[in-house]
Structure 1
Amino acid sequence: MATRYPTADPTTIPTGQAPSLPGEKGPGDPGFSEPPDNIGDVEEPVEVDPEAAGLRLADGAELAEPKVLDIKFVTEDLGGEERREDSTVRTKFTLQAEVLFPKDSPKLDDGAKDRIRKIAEEIEKQGSTEVNVFGFTDDLGSYAHGKKLSRKRASAVQTELAARLDPDVSFNVRGYSEDYPIADNRTEEGRERNRRVEVSFPKKD
């Protein structure tokens, strides 16, 4: 089971291929050797002495309470326009602003409503009654303009969701401007990813 390192919400960390370890050699490098053919063979388990001194707790020490790690699964469409993250406790959708709004506008495109409808269906399926809707921009333009635009865009998505959900569902709507980037603002590709709206909600027990 992989360990999930905590990050400050509502940021997300881009996923990618893990780098090689320092000094790691690959095929074609001097001194590289292929792994043995029997690397996957099953061997007899090593017998462990439960009374071994190295396994004993120090005097007065106690084992910590067991905890369930928050395992995350990420699904991203081929164009990178929509990203879904599922963990053991919540679901989060991240939509690039360009698939929801015209440039520098908080008015939803016609195609945006279909994407939001699918998110509303998932919220209903999970039985969630609390939904976060957060808007973000890139670092172009003033911070104040980004704050206003990101808030208006988040509000537009919230309004569309509310029209499709039970009135008992409550919303937390915020605009964060250029705060919490998930990509490099020095490239257009990165800025495109940073211009986004995130919708997250807890999973039912």
Structure 2
Amino acid sequence: MSRAMTPQTTARRPARRGPVLAALASTALLVTLTAPAPPAHADSGPGAPADTTPPLKIDAKDSDLRMPEGAKLAPGRVLDIKSVVETDDGDERREDTNAKVKFALQAEVLFGKDSAKLGGEAKARIKEIASEAERQNAKSVRVFGFTDDLGSAGHGIVLSKQRANAVQQALAEDLDPSVNYEIRGYGEQYPIADNASEEGRKRNRRVEVSFPRTA
């Protein structure tokens, strides 16, 4: 009599893969961290080869380049270019444009405190301005005085006009008697710097001399 065979299932213990996976992960991480990065490079550095492509040829006789019949070119425009030169200490400033020349002298260079009497150094600087006005063959000269905002506005107007007058008289000693002068005292108006600081107030205390540019 045969016995019924009962199938037997052999249970297997799962493989211990934890340490192996951890080791593999560590190795991969090490490779990732130690793998050399690709070298950085500029797209176009100072040593890049020059472009040798020949320039595009244009046929000057091409009909497409011609202006339509009856058309006229617009009149040429001359741009007003300004050149500004200032001494290192800021005592003197010169501005040149196509139309005029303007000098700005700080009041401390020309006058004593709250004074309209010119000093010796001031006359030498004004003589240089007169020489430039002669070189430009100036027929008219503007002399404008300015102050800071300390004190009353009325006092600033009077003092700035007195200083402008003093500079004009010094210019007249060297310029032709036929030169016309426009003399004004603006006081604290038209500041070129912030009056909140002494440095700014110093820049605002000035006399400007300007005349047309011809040379």
Normalised by the length of structure 1, the TM-score is 0.72
Residue in structure 2 matching 1:169, options 173, 179, 192: 179
Counterpart CA distance in 1 for 2:145 and 2:43 is 49
Q: CA deviation at 1:179?
A: 0.8
Alignment pair present for 1:105 and 2:101: no
**Counterpart mapping for 1:1-205 below 5 A:** 36-37=45-46, 64-204=74-214
Query: Structure 1 residues 41 and 165, CA, compared in 2 at 3 Å: closer, same or farther?
Result: farther
Counterpart CA distance in 2 for 1:186 and 1:39 is 52
Q: CA deviation at 1:168?
A: 0.6
Query: Structure 1 residues 65 and 111, CA, compared in 2 at 3 Å: closer, same or farther?
Result: same
- Of all paired residues, the percent bearing the same amino acid is 55
Query: Structure 1 residues 168 and 187, CA, compared in 2 at 3 Å: closer, same or farther?
Result: same
Query: Structure 1 residues 39 and 96, CA, compared in 2 at 3 Å: closer, same or farther?
Result: farther
Query: Structure 1 residues 136 and 45, CA, compared in 2 at 3 Å: closer, same or farther?
Result: farther
Q: CA deviation at 1:169?
A: 0.6
Query: Structure 1 residues 168 and 63, CA, compared in 2 at 3 Å: closer, same or farther?
Result: same
The residue type equivalent to 1:114 in the other structure is A
Q: CA deviation at 1:64?
A: 4.9
Q: CA deviation at 1:44?
A: 6.0
**Higher Cα Rg: structure 1 or 2?**
2
Q: CA deviation at 1:111?
A: 1.3
Q: CA deviation at 1:75?
A: 1.1
Query: Structure 1 residues 201 and 46, CA, compared in 2 at 3 Å: closer, same or farther?
Result: farther
Query: Structure 1 residues 37 and 185, CA, compared in 2 at 3 Å: closer, same or farther?
Result: same
Provide, for residues 66-121 of structure 1, a one-character-per-residue CA deviation record: whole Å limited to 9, x for no partner.
21011111111111100111122211110000000000111111211101011111
Counterpart CA distance in 1 for 2:119 and 2:165 is 14
Give the number of aligned pairs: 167
Greater per-residue helix proportion: 2
Structure 1: runs of 5 or more not aligned: 1-32
Counterpart CA distance in 2 for 1:102 and 1:95 is 13
Structure 2: runs of 5 or more not aligned: 1-41
**What residue number does 1:27 align with?**
none
Normalised by the length of structure 2, the TM-score is 0.68
Query: Structure 1 residues 40 and 156, CA, compared in 2 at 3 Å: closer, same or farther?
Result: farther
Query: Structure 1 residues 66 and 168, CA, compared in 2 at 3 Å: closer, same or farther?
Result: same
**What residue number does 2:26 align with?**
none
Query: Structure 1 residues 62 and 204, CA, compared in 2 at 3 Å: closer, same or farther?
Result: same
Counterpart CA distance in 1 for 2:77 and 2:48 is 32
